[in-house]
Amino acid sequence: MFPPLYTNSAEPATRGEFTRNVIDDAQGLIVRDLIVIRNDRLVLDGVSFALAPGAALMLTGPNGAGKSTLLRVLAGLRRADSGTILWNGAPVTDPVAQGTLVAYLGHRDALKPGLTLRENLTLASEAFGQSPDAAIAALGLAELADLPARMLSAGQSRRAALARTILRQSPLWLLDEPSLGLDTASIARLGDVLAAHRAQGGIVIATTHVDLPLPGCETLALRAPDFTKTVPGGLAAPDAARAPEDWF
Amino acid sequence: MNAHTRTGAPLPQQGQALRPAVRFGAALSALLARDLRLAWRHGADTLAALLFFILAGSLFPLALGPSPDLLRKMAPGIVWVCALLASLLPLDRLFGAELEDGALDQLLLLGLPPSVVAMTKIASHWLTTGLPLLVAATPLALMLDMRGADLPVLLVGLALGTPCLSLLGGLASAIVLGARRGGVLLPLLVLPLATPVLIFGALAVDQARLGLTYGADLDLLGAFLAACLTLCPLAAGAGLRAAVA
């Protein structure tokens, strides 16, 4: 047989094993052999996993291992150079539809300092037809709802961004270090919110460097990419792998 | 392989509560309302473009001398050039602010096509910059001794032309998003593209002043607006996608 094009940087157990016996019509999320190349370097090298409704996955790994990149690919914000994402057995190809499938919490909280906390959530609540009050209360923000976002602390901003995640009613939550800046009581609230989402059949994928309140979650350890290895020209779509700042 | 495979639509089939339903119209109006509210809260930014327009226009009589004949002749050109430059001022924040605080990710995940997101932001740029310029154009034109009879032609031209400037500006600011020195690149991209607007907009008023027909110039402005309306949001949407990737 032909030798593999690229050697695997992920642990063998994280590649293929999860998906080997999963049929195509399975419910939930299946990710197969995701490869992302940035500036001719392999960032994600053949990531595969499968998650049933109600499951959770914790992404761990050193800085620069591609955890955030993987979340952005799953959110449809970034294209993978190769690999498949299946949702309920159907390949996810349209990034616009993918946007409604996921609720993405990035590094930055995306709050406008000039608007109040409630006004910051209005766009999501209007777009998805949800009242923001339940989400605000779930994260203990009721008393802060009418304060301008510029007066919120880092942890309070993080909770506001988490409230927006709830509002979207999306089955797949992609959380980039959701517990960043949260105090002990807020982490407990986050645990309740995550448990409620999973009880509804939702899936949670979170990157973290600390323990998250995700009982019974799987763990996927990504390894730091080997930066001595280059992939000149990329795989199929070289432009997708180039950062826009390099276009000029 | 089932039907979903062919359509590629990732529909949740789990028969549970998690079924995100994007309300297209509500999302659009909420996005527009958010931008207008932000513009109102940060009123200084809106006012800055307006004051720049008035001040830059007032410099010409100081530099060229107060001859009414000369000013009347140059008035259309002065108003148009000042409007073009003033509409450039808020452009680098149009998408730049959204990219910096991560809000652009959330906007692109609303389930709206990126071109629609871009078009809504461009519309808010016109409402907060183009429309105030349209209002301020009358005092500036009168200050430059433009005849009252020529004012409607100027205003119709600006009503057609300022949306073009917003569309071209939105296109350019989406393209330079995330680039180093994007603020410098922006005018270099917009100004050449905006020359047709400038030419036909100023020419229409000039024709009216000389008592000639100006319909063709306004028609061409309208045609340019139609082309910008269809093409600019598409290109701007592609620029936004590339910026977050």
Residues paired with A116 in a beta bridge: A148
Would residue B25 count as lying in a domain?
no
pLDDT value of residue B43: 86
Residues A47 and A13: their CA atoms lie apart, in Å, by 11
For residues B126-132, give the mean pLDDT. 95
Instruction: Tell whether the model's pLDDT for residue A18 goes beyond 80.
Output: no
Residue B59 lies in a domain: yes
Collect all residues of chain B within an 8 Å Cβ-Cβ radius of residue A24. Answer: 1
pLDDT at position A64, please?
Answer: 84
The listed range with the strongest mean pLDDT (A177-181, A229-233, A238-242) is A177-181
Contact B171, B181 (CB under 8 A): no
Residue among A115, A127, A243 minimizing CB distance to B30: A127
**B5 pLDDT above the threshold of 80:** no
Six token digits for residue A192: 């309740």
Q: Residue written as tokens 């976002």?
A: A149
Q: How far is CA B155 from CA A8, A168, B158, in A?
A: 64, 43, 5
List the Cα angle B59/B140/B67 in 5-degree steps.
60
CB-based burial label for B6 (10 Å; 0-12, 13-18, 19+): exposed
Tokens of A133: 């009050």
For residue A62, with 0-12 CB atoms within 10 Å meaning exposed, 13-18 middle and 19 or more buried, which class applies?
Answer: exposed
CB contact under 8 A, A114 and B20: no
CATH topology of domain A12-239: Rossmann fold (3.40.50)
How many angstroms separate the Cα of B175 from the Cα of each of A222, A242, B1, B122? 33, 15, 39, 14
pLDDT one-digit tens code per residue, B57-101 = 999 999 998 898 999 999 999 999 999 999 999 998 899 999 999
Domain annotation covers residue B132: yes
In a domain, B81, yes or no: yes
Distances from the Cα of A44 to the Cαs of A84, A207, A227, A241, in angstroms?
A: 13, 15, 12, 12
How many folded domains does chain B comprise?
1
Tell me which chain B residues have a C-beta less than 8 angstroms from the C-beta of A71. none
Residue owning tokens 């720049």 = B52
Residue B162 lies in a domain: yes
Distance CA B163, CA A105 (A): 34
- Name the packing angle between helices B131-143 and B151-175 (round to 10°): 130
Name residue, tokens 């199929």.
A236
Query: Is the Cβ pair B103, A75 closer than 8 Å?
Result: no
Residue A16's pLDDT is 44
Asked if residue B36 lies in contact with residue B127, where contact means CB atoms within 8 angstroms, the answer is: yes
Q: How far apart are CA B73 and CA A159, in angstroms?
A: 60
What integer is the mean pLDDT of B168-179? 93
pLDDT of amino acid B11: 34
Evaluate if residue A73 carries a pLDDT over 70: yes
Residue extents of the structural domains in chain A? 12-239
Interface of A with B in 111-150 (CB under 8 A): 111-112, 114-115, 119, 122-124, 126-129
Interface confidence, given as ipTM, is 0.82
Question: Chains A and B: how many Cβ contacts under 8 Å?
Answer: 172
Model confidence at A6, pLDDT cuts 50, 70, 90, reads very low
- CA of B128 to nearest chain A CA: how many angstroms apart? 17
Residue B71, pLDDT score = 92
pLDDT > 90 fraction of chain A, expressed in percent and rounded: 56
Q: What is the pLDDT of residues A87-144, one digit of tens each?
A: 988 898 888 888 889 999 999 999 999 999 999 999 999 998 889 999 999 999 999 9
**Which regions of B80-144 does DSSP assign to beta strands (E)?**
none
Residue A225, pLDDT above cutoff 50: yes
Asked whether residue B9 is domain-assigned, the answer is no
Average pLDDT of the segment spanning B29-43: 93
Tell me if residue A122 falls in helix, strand or coil.
Answer: helix
What pLDDT shows up at residue A237? 44
User: Helices B151-175 and B195-209, interaxial angle, to 10°?
Assistant: 180
Specify which residues A60 forms β-bridges with: A221
Domain boundaries, position B70: 43-244
In this prediction, residue B18 carries a pLDDT of: 73
Residue B27: exposure state from Cβ atoms within 10 A (0-12, 13-18, ≥19): buried
Q: What confidence category does residue B179 fall into, taking pLDDT thresholds of 50, 70 and 90? A: confident
B46 CB-contact burial (10 Å; exposed 0-12 / middle 13-18 / buried 19+) = middle
Banded pLDDT at A234 (limits 50, 70, 90): low
Q: Which residue of A has its CA nearest to B101?
A: A110
Does residue B12 lie within any of the structural domains? no
Which one, of B153, B142, B155, lies nearest residue B205 by Cα? B153
Whether the predicted pLDDT of B136 surpasses 90: yes
In a domain, B237, yes or no: yes
